[in-house]
Every structure is written in structure tokens, then in C-alpha cells.
Amino acid sequence: MSEAMLKVSGLTMRFGGIRALNDISFEVQRGSISALIGPNGAGKTTVFNCVTGFYKATEGALTLHPQAGQSYNIPKLLGEPFQAADFINPVAFGRRLYYKMFGGSHRVANAGVSRTFQNIRLFREMTAVENLLVAQHIHMVRNPLAGVFKTKRFREAEERAVERAYFWLDALNLRDDANRLAGGLPYGRQRRLEIARAMCTGPKMICLDEPAAGLNPSETAELAEMIRMLRDKHGVTVLLIEHDMSLVMKISEHIVVLDHGEVICAGGPDKIANDPQVIAAYLGVADEDEVNL
């Protein structure tokens, strides 16, 4: 069996004295659609933020295996503080110094993770196409003078990027909006554009934070199709946070349930739907004693 795409073990996140996440461990299988659910404030988005390099985890390991034989330690990519042992080991010291100086969230994206946000964060004053081009800058010619003189390499890279941008606009049914300002698009399309932008970075795993929030039922059904399409046609592993349980149960193969910063249950949709602890977390209980574990 191949290694899991993402392995989270012992993840703890503290904000001052508040423990938002407490010793979380779970795995996301390669090529799966997995969901992270839980009541409000359970810490779902915090997990996302740690996985995508938005926050630096306080403790724990997040290991990413975008391809067989490739592995990244996400906190390390962000730059960790020096450890005592580094001062007698110049190689470890050098490596840590390198990531301290040149590390950052962009390294996580380049390793193959991309994400969308619960509150849409498009570049509102850029057109839809430009939003998608920005996401592809890794594949672009970076020298600004090459752009001024329009070198062959620059033009080819630019053409490829535009092609890819239109490919994703088509895939998410946004072609007509290509040259509109992202901030002016209707809400549902902004959500789709954000997914398209995340896909343009060429991820191996995409993290969708409440992709169905604010969508009407037909848009939600369309979204479910699109998420399946991402996995089936493009081989991307999907990890999503969602409150729409019918959507979660319909598309995901593996579900992790969080409550108060801890994993309370993990498994297939059937197992989750019938788990007493999950039901208790969602519906609440009249008295502690009623839950018999």
C-alpha cells in the first residue's frame, strides 16, 4: 500500500493559553476525498491553517507525501527555531538556517498543497484570468527584463500559463467571466474561481474550506460534481471542511470528526452517521450520564 498523502500526528496548536488543537492525529489517503467535520469552534479551520502553512503548528508532525518517495515536513518548511543540538551539527544548523531565511508558506504551496478559504480571498481587483495566472507564477519566467523584451522563453511560459488558466476556467464553467474583475463576480462563481485558482498552482492535495457555504441546493449539487471531477479526472486528493452533511456523506470516503480540538471519531460515512459520540457532539446531550461509552 502506498503511503498516505498527509499524515498528521500529535498536532497541537496553542494561541497563548488557549489550546485550539490538542494532540490531533489522522491520515488522508492518496486519491481520496476526505472530510473534516465538527461543530463550530471545534478547530477544523485551525487544522487547515496548520496543514497549508498559514499557521506554524506548536507541536506535532505534519508529513506530506505528494509523490512516492517524496516527503515534506510542513513545520520545517516554514522555518523552525534552532534547537540545542543544531549548534554541534553544522549540517542541521545550515538546513534550519536555510529554512528560517527562505522558508515560508510559499514552500508548502510549492510542495503540492493548495487551499480555498471560508471567506473568499480572491484578488478582487484583478480579473479572473489574472487571478489564475498569479497562482502559476512558479512556472513563469521571473526575470522582469525578459518580460520587457518579450524573450521567447517568456512568451512560451506565458502562453502555457494562459492556456492552463483557460483550461480551469472551462473546467469550472467560468469561461464567460475570464476578463471580469474577480470582486464583481456573483458569489457562487467567486467560490468556483477560488477552486480554479487553487488548482492552478498544480497541487497534489487541495483543501477546501466550506466550499458549499452560501450556495443554493442546485449550486451545491454542481459543486459535488466538480469535486468528484477534480479527484477522478485530475487525480487530486481532496480534503474538505463542510457543514452541509448531505454533501459530506455523499462525496467523502473518509471522515474525521473534531470536537473541542480533539478527534472524536474517524471512519467511513456510515460509521460516522451512527456514532453516538458524534451525534452527541452535534445534537448535544441533556446530561453527561446519558452518553454511555
Partner 1 sequence: MDWHIFAQQLVNGLVLGSIYGLIAIGYTMVYGIIGMINFAHGDIYMVSAYLTAIFLAILTMLGVTAVSVPLALVVVMLLTIMFTALYGWTVERVAYRPLRGSTRLAPLISAIGMSLVLQNYVQISQGARNQGIPSLIEGTLRVGGESAYVQITTVQLLIVVVSFVAMGILTYIIHKTSLGRQCRATQQDRKMANILGINTDRVISMVFLIGAAMAAIAGALVSFNYGSFDFYIGFVTGIKAFTAAVLGGIGSLPGAMLGGLILGLSESLFSGLINTDYKDVFAFALLVLVLIFRPSGLLGKPEVEKV
Residues 6+ apart with CB under 8 A from 210: 118, 241, 242, 243
Residue 107 backbone phi and psi in degrees, to 5 = -65, -35
- Span from 102-110, 229-237, 251-259, 267-275 in contact with partner 1 (CB under 8 A): 102-110
What lies within 8 Å, CB to CB, of 282 at 6+ separation is 39
Q: Which is nearer to partner 1, 83 or 143 (CB)?
A: 143
How many other CB atoms sit within 10 Å of the CB of residue 99?
A: 18
Site string for partner 1, 219-258 (x = CB under 8 A): ----------------------------------------
Decide: is 124 part of the binding site for partner 1 (CB under 8 A). Answer: yes
- What would the DSSP string read from start to end of 181-214? BGGGS-HHHHHHHHHHHHHHT--SEEEEESTTTT
Contact 63, 6 (CB under 8 A): yes
199's CB contacts (< 8 A; 6+ apart) are 114, 168, 171, 206, 230, 234, 236
What's the rounded Cα separation, in Å, for the pair 71 and 7?
10
Query: Would you count residue 72 as binding partner 1 (CB under 8 A)?
Result: no
Which range of residues in 49-57, 89-97, 233-241, 256-264 is near partner 1 by CB under 8 A?
A: 49-57
Instruction: Pick the piece of the chain touching partner 1 (CB under 8 A) from 83-91, 101-109, 167-175, 211-219.
Output: 101-109
Which residue from 12, 110, 151, 277 is in contact with partner 1, where contact means CB under 8 A?
A: 110
Choosing from 32, 114, 237, 252, the residue that interacts with partner 1 (CB under 8 A) is 114
109 contributes a contact to partner 1 by CB under 8 A = yes
Residue 133: CB minimum distance to partner 1, A: 6
Residues that bind partner 1 (CB under 8 A): 52-54, 102, 104-106, 108-110, 114-115, 117, 119, 121, 123-126, 130, 133-135, 137-138, 140-142, 144, 147-148, 154, 157-158, 197, 201
